[in-house]
Chains A and B, each alone.
Chain A
Amino acid sequence: DQQVKQNSPSLSVQEGRISILNCDYTNSMFDYFLWYKKYPAEGPTFLISISSIKDKNEDGRFTVFLNKSAKHLSLHIVPSQPGDSAVYFCGGEYGNKLVFGAGTILRVKS
Chain B
Amino acid sequence: DVKVTQSSRYLVKRTGEKVFLECVQDMDHENMFWYRQDPGLGLRLIYFSYDVKMKEKGDIPEGYSVSREKKERFSLILESASTNQTSMYLCASTQLNEKLFFGSGTQLSVL
Q: Closest Cβ of chain B: how far from A91's Cβ, in Å?
A: 8
The count of residues in chain B whose C-beta lies closer than 8 Å to any C-beta of chain A is 27
A101 to B58, CA, bound (A): 14
B interface, over-half SS? strand
Is there a chain B Cβ closer than 8 Å to A89's Cβ?
yes
Is there a chain A Cβ closer than 8 Å to B33's Cβ?
yes
Contact B42 A103 (CB under 8 A): yes
Contact A43 B102 (CB under 8 A): yes
Q: Which of B40, B90, B96, B105 contacts A96 (CB 8 A)?
A: B96
Contact A97 B45 (CB under 8 A): yes
The count of residues in chain A whose C-beta lies closer than 8 Å to any C-beta of chain B is 22
Contact A43 B40 (CB under 8 A): no
A17 to B101, CA, bound (A): 30
A6 to B40, CA, bound (A): 10
Q: Which of A46, A97, A102 contacts B48 (CB 8 A)?
A: A97
By beta carbon, the residue of chain A nearest B40 is: A102
Is there a chain B Cβ closer than 8 Å to A13's Cβ?
no
Contact B31 A49 (CB under 8 A): no
A89 to B105, CA, bound (A): 16
Query: Apart from A44-B102, A96-B56, what are 9 other A-B pairs with CB-CB below 8 Å?
Result: A32-B97, A42-B104, A44-B90, A44-B100, A46-B101, A98-B33, A98-B45, A102-B40, A103-B42
Interface residues in chain A, defined as those with a beta carbon under 8 Å from any beta carbon in chain B: 6, 9, 32, 34, 36, 41-46, 49, 89, 91, 96-103
Interface residues in chain B, defined as those with a beta carbon under 8 Å from any beta carbon in chain A: 4, 31, 33, 35, 40-45, 48, 50, 56, 58-59, 90, 92, 94, 96-97, 99-105
